[in-house]
Amino acid sequence: MAIFISYSSQDRSSLEALTTALRRAQQQVWFDQELGGGDAWWNKILEQIRASDVFIVALSNHWLQSKPSQAELRYAQALQRPILPVQVGPVDSVRVNPVSTLQIINYQNPTVDAGIQLVTAIHALRDKVPPLPSPLPEEPPVPFGYLMRLGDALAEKELSPQQQLQMLVELRSGLDEDGDDPSARSDIAQLLRMLRMRHDVTYRTRTEIDNVLGEIGAVEAGPAGASSTPQAKPQAGPAPATEAGPAPSTPSRPSSPQAAPSGANGQSNKRLLVIGGAVLAVVVAVALIAVFATQGGNRKPAAKPATSTAAAAPTRIDSMLLGAAEIGNLVGDQNMVSAAHSDQLRSPQGTLSDPECLAAFEPLQESMYRPHDPTAVHSEVLHTQGENPAHRVIEAAVGFPSAEKARAFLQASADKWAACANKTVKFTTSSKSSEWTFGDVTGAPPKITQVRTETDGSGKTCQHVLKAVSDVVIEVEACGTDIADGAGQIADQMSTKGK
């Protein structure tokens, strides 16, 4: 049997009891962060819904506000999949929502009775799974597809004033339609910032962007005025810390972060699980009863060991990042500003003449990290304020299931970097090309460093650092003409905050 669980990343902590019980029952858990973005990502989600025997709604106000969640639910209903709402967070009204007519299991404070009720309901629904309708219903479009299209358009070298205004109109319209979704609102804010930072942006467009960003800031601040400036966390990976500047990137994939559970960015605002197993009902029932019987009533499951995934929770790695002022002090530049946040790994931002050196050249490469099963990612791009930034920094913290996996990733990276020592590579983006020569790798796990130098005689260098701290890997790249050990100092300061 396959179970599809649709939920908001904002409810991740609330879902821990549910997912832990299923994992303890030895069920396979699949996260959509293993996918790429765009059409392929959405098609895979729809495929998993079609393959499911039970569609679980992790019900909460966050889930109800998520546009991708609603699209998933409508598709599951069109496919006649059995639907089981499981309440994991506050709901303003259990009578006025898309699943109000169905039996809702309250799993906010799991007990033995709630566990048995959950398993019984899953078992009963499993026996009522109808065949898929023929022909299949029309597939819903990719949620927030216009954001992906506009993200691609921002990669163009030149945009006319008319194109800029048209893009602004679409983003403003998107904010009116989708602004209640935190994921979409973050992506819209990020695209607006990217448009504002373009070299060809007109004064009129910039002024209008500032007005829209002000509206977003007011929404996110709320009545209490908690924050006047929106700090969106787009799911797309940060731009490379090279002379080319932060390249525009595709916004978060709106389905779900694993942080997204994302993102994310994203990753984005949802996570989806597929749990397989022909004897799920019996096994889960035994597991739930055993867990709660041994731990007593409403008590939460015992804390996991220090090397578990929980140790690398997003809140922990978020706190490890330094602020612009701190980084400015370490690189000797008091004009550093934040350009972008992300909670996802990234794909290449350009073409490298030697693909084997990509991980040494660009931070947070998905092809390098993914085989080592990272559990959470958070990164930030910072640079000197102005059109020709003197310094650019990428700082990132990546969680792993254990300290051993973090150390294994660092050792694998050290081997990759060492193989590129003294090589000269050409990096090409849509706007320019540059040549860089790698130096030797210095240090050894748990901390390694490598410097590359641009061959044009400008004196520009990029220092790249990896450092393992328990089950977290810190990755920092700092570029400029006077970096020295700036990236190393940033990594050391981040590791201090992570202890």
- pLDDT at residue number 438: 92
| CA dist., res. 39 & res. 30, Å (int) | 19
Return the structure tokens found at 464.
Answer: 């790249």
The fold of the 311-497 domain, in CATH, is Protein Transport Mog1p; Chain A (3.40.1000)
Between residues 242 and 128, which one has the greater pLDDT?
128
| Mean pLDDT within 122-137 | 88
Q: Which residues pair with 443 in a beta bridge?
A: 448
What pLDDT digit, counting tens, does each position of 19-35 carry?
776 666 555 555 555 45
60 contacts 11 by C-beta, under 8 angstroms: yes
Give 365's DSSP letter: B
Up-side HSE of residue 363: CA atoms within 13 Å toward CB?
37
- pLDDT at residue number 373: 86
| CA dist., res. 101 & res. 135, Å (int) | 27
- pLDDT at residue number 24: 65
Nearest CA to 266 out of 276, 274, 275, 256 is that of: 256
Q: Please state the pTM of the whole predicted model.
A: 0.46
| CA dist., res. 120 & res. 102, Å (int) | 15
Strands (E), 45-145: 54-59, 83-87, 105-106
Between residues 16 and 140, which one has the greater pLDDT?
140
Return the structure tokens found at 198.
Answer: 């373009």
What pLDDT digit, counting tens, does each position of 337-358 carry?
887 788 888 777 778 898 889 9
Whether the upstream peptide bond of residue 446 has omega within 30° of 0, thus cis, is yes
| CA dist., res. 40 & res. 437, Å (int) | 36
- pLDDT at residue number 23: 65
| CA dist., res. 158 & res. 389, Å (int) | 20
Residue 132: pLDDT above 90? yes
Name the least confident of 109-123, 167-181, 219-233, 369-383. Answer: 219-233
Residue 280: pLDDT above 70? no
Confidence label for 487 from pLDDT (cuts 50, 70 and 90) = very high
Q: Where are the domains of the chain?
A: 2-141+255-302, 145-221, 311-497
Name the 3-class secondary structure at 453: strand
- pLDDT at residue number 235: 38
| CA dist., res. 413 & res. 477, Å (int) | 14
Other beta carbons within 10 angstroms of residue 103's beta carbon come to 12
Name the 3-class secondary structure at 2: strand
What pLDDT digit, counting tens, does each position of 219-268 carry?
666 544 343 333 433 333 333 333 333 333 334 334 333 333 333 333 34
Contacts of 252 by beta carbon, 8 Å cutoff, 6+ apart: 183, 186, 187, 234, 235, 236, 262, 263, 264, 265, 266, 267, 268, 269, 344
